[in-house]
Amino acid sequence: MTLDIVLAASLAAIIPGALDTRLSPRPRPTWRRPRATAAVEVGTHLLHYSLWLALVQRPLFALAITLALYALLIQSNNAKVRSLREPFTFMDFEYFSDALRHPRLYLPFFGIGLAIAATAAAVLAIIAGFRWEASLFTTHSTAEGLGLIAMLALAGALTLWQGLSRLPACRLEPARDLRRLGFVSYLWAYGLMMRQPLEAPTTRWPAPLTDAAHAQDQRPNLVVVQSESFFDPRRWYPNIHPSVLRHFDELKREASLHGILDVPAWGANTVRTETGFLTGLTPAELGVHRFNPYRQLRHREVPNLAASLSARGYRTICIHPYPSRFYARHQVFPRMGFDEFIDIRDFDPMDREGQYIGDHAVASRVARRLETDTSRPLFLFVITMENHGPLHLEPAANASHHWYHARPGGKFNDLSVYLRHLRNADRMIGSLKRALGRTARPGMLCWYGDHVPILPDVYAQLGAPDGATDYVIWSTHRRPDDQPSIRPQRADQLGQTLLHHLLTRIDAVAATTSTPSTTRPAISTPQEGAS
């Protein structure tokens, strides 16, 4: 084996360890990690180098590609930590292809300037590599060159296999696992765990009963809004003017139940909160699949809120003003029992408010379905997009000073943009209340936020919020003496709590005409019966 290939392969195996010092969070030094991690890292980097050597046939060029791609991975990790307070996980590799299909959602957080610079550097490197370095097969025979590559790949594979067979288990706490195992071993550990199928409980949702409630047809329309990046920022930053959430405050005063919502996501990863609400599955029950549950749920059915309502005669519809293929929702939601998925194709470009379809347009679609689809009760699950980042791409409105008690100093543009969209979300609450009130059928509204917004510059000045969002359960038919109950919830409890409130309301109506034999047995609320 020639000296240049030996040297390049050695550097490919060693240099990435030095690059790990640029990671956030920073891993422990190699000598303080489990021994198996050294074999995993060396074997991985050798295999990676062998792949590129086989493709480009130039030892130094293959080394440059190997190191550049690893540096790109480190930069992706650090960008995610800054925005989402979570390291890059194995499940995030699929987001590289998503970034090509939906660049606005990803590239601004990575850094548009850096992305352009990296692309230009790659083009120059390709030109230089092919022009100034001789091919391996011009200095060696074909058989000899292929033999050298095969030897490197075999050495890498054996080393990797030895390390993986002794790799310690992870705790599913990404920051701690990365520090303890190092970046490469941590990624491998999560990847191997993903091969485990999801084992979901099957007894969480109550079975439907045929009773007088259906005959009376007092089943209310149910509108659930998972509002993008919604939370009440006034408890975090008191300088925000109360009028920003005027309708939300009114909704809470008239609500059956409201409070703080503990969500399993920060800044993004909406499907984590979405899965908890719809299925009731806790992060512990999801295991490693908690990071992107829809990878499993698109291939299997689990008991959930939509299926439970469908079995009770509801027409189940999802409205989401974004492509339904994102997060494979076009596969997941039919398996959950949704009858229809209304995505961005049902909206007009003029419906945009900022970068995405506005909440006003989404509220109009909800009102239209409530007015026209009256043959049976509706379950409308709405996933909004208006307040999705990157907020720093939008200028603050001229009226932004009206959203504060006193005009703030410093870098508050992103917060002002967020508050503009938050006010539109608040107006959507008012629109939905009016739409539900206009229908002959009773109505219920459940509103909650999926996660807090991405505002790194603002958080650097004010400190970050605790990550909790807010929820409300409201009904059109409320007794004057009803007082709202205030209770914290987890996202994986809220869907069950909502179903309990809905069934309680149906049973209250049915009790006036039902015999004791048709009365529904009591079901426990999540606080009473769920872990």
Give the pLDDT of residue 120: 60
Residues 441 and 323 in one domain: yes
Give the chain's domain count: 2
Question: Among 99, 132, 134, which residue's Cα sits nearest to residue 115?
Answer: 99
Could you give the 3-state DSSP secondary structure of residue 468?
A: coil
Let me know if residue 210 belongs to a domain. Answer: no
Residue 161 has pLDDT above 60, yes or no: yes
Q: Please, which residues have CB within 8 angstroms of residue 359's CB and are 6 or more apart in sequence?
A: 227, 353, 384, 386, 387, 421, 424, 425, 427, 428
Whether residue 487 has pLDDT greater than 50: yes
3-state secondary structure 370-412: HHHCCCCCEEEEEECCCCCCCHHHCCCCHHHHHHECCCCCCCC
Task: Answer yes or no: do 228 and 354 share one domain.
Answer: yes
The DSSP output letter for 354 is T
- Per residue in 489-500, pLDDT (tens digit) is 999 999 999 999
Residues 333, 459 share a domain: yes
Q: Decide which of 328 and 399 is more confident.
A: 328
Would residue 493 count as lying in a domain? Answer: yes
Q: Is 134 a member of any domain?
A: yes
Range of the domain at 339: 218-529
For residues 43 and 165, what is the distance between their CA atoms, to the nearest angstrom? 13
Do 177 and 222 belong to one domain? no
Supply 68's token pair. Answer: 């550049």
Q: Rounded mean pLDDT of the chain?
A: 87
Strongest mean pLDDT among 3-7, 143-147, 365-369:
365-369
State the pairing for strand pair 485-486/356-357: unpaired
Same domain as 255, residue 184:
no
What is the 3-state secondary structure of 197-260?
CCCCCCCCCCCCCCCHHHHHCCCCEEEEEEECCCCCHHHCCCCECHHHHHHHHHHHHHCCEEEE
Looking at the fold, whether 435 and 286 belong to one and the same domain comes out as: yes
Q: pLDDT at residue 521 above 50? A: no
> What pLDDT, in 10s, does the model give residues 98-139?
666 766 666 665 555 555 555 665 666 666 656 677 777 777
Last residue of some domain: 193, 227, 252?
193
Dist. CA 358–CA 88, nearest whole Å: 30
State how far the Cα of 45 lies from the Cα of 357, in Å rounded to an integer: 44
Q: Is the pLDDT of residue 95 over 70?
A: yes
pLDDT computed for residue 524 by the predictor: 41
CA-to-CA dists, residue 194 to 52, 70, 91, 293, angstroms: 26, 22, 8, 11
| Same domain membership, residue 236 and residue 184 | no
- The angle formed by the CA atoms of residues 336, 330 and 471, to the nearest 5 degrees, is 60
Integer CA distances (angstroms), 29 to 17, 34, 77, in order: 9, 11, 18
- The CATH number of the domain holding residue 246 is 3.40.720.10
Residues 138-146 have a mean pLDDT of 76
125 and 18 housed in the same domain: yes
3-state secondary structure 303-350: CCHHHHHHHCCCEEEEECCCCCCHHHHHHHHHHHCCCEEECHHHCCHH
Compute the distance between CA of residue 342 and CA of residue 346 in angstroms, rounded to an integer. 6
pLDDT given for residue 377 in this prediction:
95
pLDDT of residue 184: 97
- Asked if residue 199 is part of any domain, the answer here is no
Strands 257-262 and 469-475: antiparallel
Q: What percent of the chain has pLDDT over 90?
A: 64
Does residue 387 form part of some domain?
yes
203 has a pLDDT exceeding 90: no
CA-nearest of 153, 160, 172, 156 to 37 is 160
Split at pLDDT 50, 70, 90, the class of 213 is: very low
Cα–Cα dist 428/430, whole Å: 5
pLDDT digits (tens, 9 = 90+) for 271-281: 999 999 999 99
485 and 352 fall within a common domain: yes
pLDDT in tens, 261-271: 999 999 999 99
pLDDT digits (tens, 9 = 90+) for 418-475: 999 999 999 999 999 999 999 989 999 999 999 999 999 999 999 999 999 999 999 9
pLDDT score of 509: 56
Model confidence at 254, in pLDDT bands (50, 70, 90)? very high
Q: Are residues 166 and 273 in the same domain?
A: no
In a domain, 128, yes or no: yes
Answer yes or no: do 297 and 374 share one domain. Answer: yes
Say if residues 485 and 256 touch (Cβ distance below 8 Å): yes
User: In this structure, is residue 211 part of a structural domain?
Assistant: no
What was the pLDDT predicted at 447?
A: 98
Q: Is residue 206 part of a domain?
A: no
Which of 138-147, 227-236, 399-408 has the lowest average pLDDT?
138-147
* Higher-pLDDT residue of 109, 64: 64
DSSP letter string, 410-446: SS-HHHHHHHHHHHHHHHHHHHHHHHHHHSSS-EEEE
**Per-residue model confidence (pLDDT) at position 513:** 42
Q: Which two tokens stand for residue 9?
A: 């392969």
Residue 209: predicted pLDDT: 59
Give the pLDDT band (50/70/90) at residue 53.
Answer: very high
Q: Are residues 142 and 227 in the same domain?
A: no
